[in-house]
């Protein structure tokens, strides 16, 4: 399998966790994994760390240095969605010409099962194999965004998540190149809330093949809201995506499903560092103490309201 990932140097620890989960569950297949890492700022030590990991599992590692000069400064980006997300748009241009398909994976996920079934999916003439985005945030965005105003009127339009993306390189190379994507991104920059994911939905909404999202791109928050527990996910899900809240951020919501991420974090040399990164900011900021104080205040207010209601009911009786 040809797997592509993109990250900046600050994300190396989280990428390492994802790759560990991928390689743990995708060795011993017909062929070893070939990992293509796209980055503009990885230094040599970081490159070597990832290379060593991949090769320990019998895989092949390829590092592709990204030239940031080719990415216009006007591209929409922010702290949560950095410019690295656009790197996947350059894959048809950057990968070896003999590659006909590649599976792109975001770094904020864990792979729990073999991906061979997904990787070998028949494109049926489409440019991408993807999963519907089941998060409430994306559903609201797709329903209100001006970018999709006309598309919402078309039969079959639905918004997909680009965190798991199987690319039909052979077809894409014939249809467009990286400069085309950059031109379109700049033309719609004011409307791109989820940046290149919005762009891909806008350009390819009717040129994609959908596969089961609960198996191949299940958002942890969505799984929690539905009521899927750890046992269900372990049995049914190949890719669990921590879209939105991250397991390693101390201020963000915790689900039991985040234990999957920490199970693989334990297998990495960054485990202690990852724990410190999550715990120490809480100690410094007193975030949990503030949260409990706030909850207690809200509880006290609710208790007073309930007491007043009970008193009124008693008087009426």
Residues 38-96 pLDDT 10s? 999 999 999 999 999 999 999 999 999 999 988 888 887 766 678 898 999 999 999 99
What is the domain range of residue 51? 2-277
Residue in 67, 64, 242, 94 with CA at minimum distance from that of residue 167? 94
Helices marked H in the chain — which ranges? Answer: 12-24, 44-56, 91-94, 116-119, 136-144, 169-175, 178-187, 196-204, 213-216, 220-226, 230-236, 259-265, 271-285, 287-316
- Measuring CA to CA, which residue among 27, 171, 22, 163 is closest to residue 101? 171
| Mean pLDDT score, 211-222 | 96
pLDDT band at 265 (very low <50, low <70, confident <90, very high): very high
Q: Are residues 41 and 162 in the same domain?
A: yes
| Sequence-distant (≥ 6) Cβ neighbours of residue 88 within 8 angstroms | 4, 6, 38, 104, 162, 165, 167, 196
State the average pLDDT for the chain: 91
144 & 264 share domain: yes
* Least confident window among 4-8, 207-211, 302-306: 302-306
Across residues 223-239, what is the average pLDDT?
Answer: 96
Q: Identify the DSSP state of 217.
A: -
Pair (80, 59) in one structural domain: yes
209 and 298 housed in the same domain:
no
Residues 26 and 140 in one domain: yes
Is 85 a member of any domain? yes
In terms of domains, do 185 and 306 share one? no
Give the pTM.
0.86
Query: Residue 65 sits in a domain of what CATH number?
Result: 3.90.550.10
pLDDT category, 288, cuts 50, 70, 90? low
Residue 294 and residue 158 share a domain: no
Q: Can you give the pLDDT at residue 279?
A: 83
Residues 14 and 157 in one domain: yes
Place of tokens 């945030």: 137
Overall number of domains in the chain: 2
Q: Which residues contact 287 (CB under 8 A, 6 or more apart)?
A: 250, 251, 281
Whether residues 310 and 168 fall in one domain: no
Note the pLDDT of residue 221.
92
pLDDT (tens digit per residue) in 87-124: 999 999 999 999 999 999 999 999 999 999 999 999 99
Q: Are residues 261 and 305 in the same domain?
A: no
Share of the chain above pLDDT 70, in %: 94
Residues 190 and 294 in one domain: no
Q: Are residues 300 and 219 in the same domain?
A: no
Q: What is the DSSP pairing of strand 128-132 with strand 160-168?
A: antiparallel
Which residues have C-beta within 8 Å of that of residue 87, sequence separation ≥ 6? 6, 38, 39, 66
Handedness of CA 221, 227, 233, 238 (dihedral sign): negative
Residue 110 lies inside a defined structural domain of this protein: yes
Nearest to 146 by CA among 194, 78, 192: 192
Q: Is residue 282 part of a domain?
A: no
What angle in degrees, to the nearest 10, is found between the helix axes of 287-316 and 271-285?
60
């Amino acid at each position: 399998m040809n797997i592509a990932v993109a990250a900046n140097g600050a994300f190396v620890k989280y990428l390492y966790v994802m790759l560990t989960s991928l390689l743990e569950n995708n060795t011993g297949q017909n062929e070893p994994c070939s990992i293509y890492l796209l980055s503009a700022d990885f230094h040599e030590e970081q490159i070597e760390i990832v290379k060593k990991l991949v090769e320990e599992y019998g895989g092949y590692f390829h590092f592709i240095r990204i030239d940031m000069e080719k990415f216009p400064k006007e591209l929409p980006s922010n702290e949560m969605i950095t410019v690295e997300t656009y790197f996947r748009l350059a894959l048809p241009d950057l990968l070896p010409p003999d590659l006909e398909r590649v599976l792109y994976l975001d770094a904020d996920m864990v792979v729990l099962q073999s991906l061979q079934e997904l990787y070998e999916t028949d494109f049926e003439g489409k440019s991408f194999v993807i999963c519907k985005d089941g998060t409430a945030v994306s559903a609201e965005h797709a329903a209100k965004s001006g970018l999709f105003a006309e598309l919402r009127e078309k039969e079959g339009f639905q918004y997909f998540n680009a965190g798991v993306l199987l690319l039909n390189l052979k077809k894409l190379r014939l249809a467009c190149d990286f400069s085309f994507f950059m031109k379109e991104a700049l033309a719609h920059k004011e409307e791109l809330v989820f940046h290149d994911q919005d762009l891909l939905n806008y350009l390819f909404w009717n040129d994609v093949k959908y596969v089961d999202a609960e198996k191949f791109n299940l958002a942890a928050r969505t799984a929690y809201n539905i009521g899927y527990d750890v046992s269900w996910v372990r049995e049914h899900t190949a890719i669990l995506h921590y879209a939105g809240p991250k397991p390693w951020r101390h201020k963000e919501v915790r689900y039991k499903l985040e234990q999957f991420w920490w199970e693989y974090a334990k297998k990495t040399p960054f485990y202690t560092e990852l724990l410190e990164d999550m715990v120490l900011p809480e100690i410094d900021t007193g975030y949990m103490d503030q949260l409990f104080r706030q909850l207690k205040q809200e509880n006290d207010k609710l208790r007073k309201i309930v007491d007043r209601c009970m008193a009124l009911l008693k008087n009426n009786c």
